[in-house]
Chains A and B, each alone.
Chain A
Amino acid sequence: MAGKTSLHRAALERQNAAIMAVFERAGFDQIQPDIIQPADIFLERSGEDIRARTFVFNDPAGNELCLRPDLTVPACRYHLSHTKKPEAETKYCYLGPAFRFPDELLSPQEFTQAGLEWFGDKADIAAEARVIKLAVSALEAAGLTGLKVSLGDLGLFNALLEDMPMPERWRRRLRHQFWRPQAFRNLLDTFAKPARNQRSSISKNIDALEDHDAVAETSRLLADEKLNLVTLRSVEDIASRLAEKLADRSEQPLAETMVVAIESYLKISGPLTDMTSGLKAISKTPRFLGAIAKFEQRIAALEDQGLNPRRFHFSADFGRELEYYTGLVFQIEVEARNAPLSVAGGGRYDSLLQDLGAVTSIPAVGCAIHTDRLLAVML
Chain B
Amino acid sequence: MTLLTVAIPSKGRLMEQANELFERAGLKVERYGTDRGYRGRLVGIDDIEVAFLSASEIASQLRDGKIDAGITGEDLLRETIAPGNDVADVALRLNFGPADVVVAVPACWLDVAVMADLDDVAEQFYVLHGRRLRVATKYLNITRRFFAEKGITGYRIVESLGATEGAPATGTAEIIVDITTSGATLKANQLRILDDGLILKSCAVFVVNKYSAQLENMCNLLNMLGRAIVT
Which residues of A are in contact with B by a Cβ distance under 8 Å? 43-44, 46-49, 51-52, 173, 176-177, 180, 182-184, 186-187, 190, 200-203, 205, 218, 221-222, 225, 227-233, 237-242, 245, 323
Contacts and interface: CB of A to CB of B under 8 A. Distances in A.
Interface string B166-208: 0011010010000000000000001010010000000000000
B116 A48 contact: no
Contacts of B130: 44
B182 to A, nearest CB: 18
Contacts of A221: 110
B116 A51 contact: no
B125 A47 contact: no
B66 to A, nearest CB: 23
B35 interface: no
A222 B123 CA distance: 23
A149 B33 CA distance: 69
B108 interface: yes
Question: Which range holds the interface residue count of chain B?
Answer: 35 or more
Interface stretch (B44-52, B154-162, B215-223): B154-162
Given A48-B153, A230-B169, A242-B111, 6 more contacts: A180-B153, A183-B150, A221-B110, A228-B108, A232-B174, A238-B109
Q: Which DSSP category, helix, strand, loop or mixed, fits chain B's interface?
A: mixed
Given A228-B190, A230-B190, A48 B113 contact: no
Nearest to B168: A230
B227 interface: no
Contact of A47 (B128, B149, B155): B155
B111 A47 contact: no
Contacts of A240: 124
Interface of B: 106-114, 116-117, 119-121, 123-126, 128-132, 144, 147-157, 168-169, 171, 174, 190, 192, 195
Nearest to B155: A48
A334 B164 CA distance: 47
Given A47-B153, A186-B116, A241-B120, A233 B110 contact: no
B150 A230 contact: no
Nearest to B108: A227
Q: 7 smallest A-B Cβ distances: which pairs?
A: A183-B151, A180-B151, A47-B153, A200-B113, A241-B111, A202-B113, A227-B108
Nearest to B154: A47
A54 to B, nearest CB: 11
Nearest to B153: A47
A283 B132 CA distance: 37
Contacts of A52: 144
24 contacts: A44-B126, A47-B132, A48-B153, A48-B155, A48-B156, A176-B119, A176-B123, A180-B153, A183-B150, A201-B192, A201-B195, A202-B112, A202-B113, A218-B110, A222-B110, A228-B108, A231-B106, A231-B171, A232-B129, A233-B108, A237-B128, A238-B108, A239-B111, A241-B120
Most buried by A among B121, B125, B153: B153
A67 to B, nearest CB: 18
Contacts of B157: 48, 51
B123 to A, nearest CB: 6
Most buried by B among A43, A47, A180, A240: A47
Given A238-B111, A242-B110, A44 B131 contact: yes
